Chain A
Amino acid sequence: MISSYRGYRAPEGMVSWALHRLAGLGVLFFLLLHIVDIFVIGYGPKAFNDLLFIYNAPLFRIGEIILVAGVYYHAANGVRIILIDFWSAAYRYERQLFYGVVATFLILFIPSAFFMVKGL
């Protein structure tokens, strides 16, 4: 007999919150790395360009695509949070707003990913 149990059902809003935190922490971690790599510019063109050459490795280019996805999602969901906080009627539309977030994300991400994969 096949069980019809669908597994734990996350409460409304939990997935969007969890992704928001995941994306935020991911982007933060990248930012710390980024500050270090830009700091190298004080050491002159050779050091800087050599370091940047590492960022052209395929692994980093793929990481870059994931980073951009994280930034886009965190920004779009962040706007949704701001709307919910400052627009008194928004609490009735939290789910629809989330669909808007997904739509915005796809509209931004698909062209960006296309350009980035093209340049790989």
Chain B
Amino acid sequence: MTVARIGRERPQGSNFELYSWYFFRISGLLLIFLVVHVIITHVVNDVSTINYNFIVRRWASPFWRANDWLMLTLALIHGLNGARIAVDDYVRSRGWRVFAYSVLWSAAIIFLIMGSIAIVTFNPAAAGAAALGR
């Protein structure tokens, strides 16, 4: 019995939608490791044990900073790209599409910058010294 395929065929040509299609699948697989992070933080560790010191210890290692930043970037783009497809499905009028796309692009830029600043500039020693010097 053949089952009707529901819109998952690879887009034709070498265009944005094709790259988007591949990006979903590649980033999705990499993000499986996110599930491991979720398990570590919320299931094994119990979220009530997460505090400032937990992050100080975690982000003492550049590996974890890099891991978290990569997860941030992949998840944001993967998720916002998915939101873009949902917008294409539900938002038809031109004006509202401009609005919706602006929201998505703004979210991408703002949250990417916020997250990157948080990860890259985190310096507990400097924060501690500043608090003492005050």
- Taking beta carbons and an 8 Å cutoff, which residues of A are in contact with B? 11-14, 17, 21, 24-25, 27-28, 31-32, 35-36, 38-39, 41-42, 44-45, 48-49, 52, 55-56, 61, 64, 68, 71-72, 75, 78-79, 81-82, 84-86, 91-92, 94-95, 108, 111-112, 115-116, 119
Is B47's beta carbon under 8 Å from chain A?
yes
In the complex the two chains form, is A75's CB within 8 Å of B35's CB? yes
Choice from A31, A44, A55, A56 contacting B131 with Cβ under 8 Å: A44
In the complex the two chains form, is B79's CB within 8 Å of A38's CB? no
In the complex the two chains form, is B25's CB within 8 Å of A85's CB? yes
Interface of A is mostly: helix
* Given contact pairs A41-B52, A44-B127, A71-B35, A24 touches B117 in the complex (Cβ within 8 A): no
> How many interface residues does chain B have, given as a range?
35 or more
* Given contact pairs A56-B48, A94-B3, A116-B42, A35 touches B31 in the complex (Cβ within 8 A): no
Mark contacts of B19-35 with chain A using CB atoms, 8 A cut-off: 1 yes-contact digit, 0 otherwise. Answer: 00000010011011011
- Looking at A31, A64, A95, which has the most chain B CB atoms within 10 Å of its CB? A31
Name the residue of chain B whose CB is nearest to the CB of A40. Answer: B118
Q: List residues of B (16-59) whose CB comes within 8 Å of A's CBs.
A: 25, 28-29, 31-32, 34-35, 38-39, 42-44, 46-48, 50-53, 55
In the complex the two chains form, is A24's CB within 8 Å of B82's CB? yes
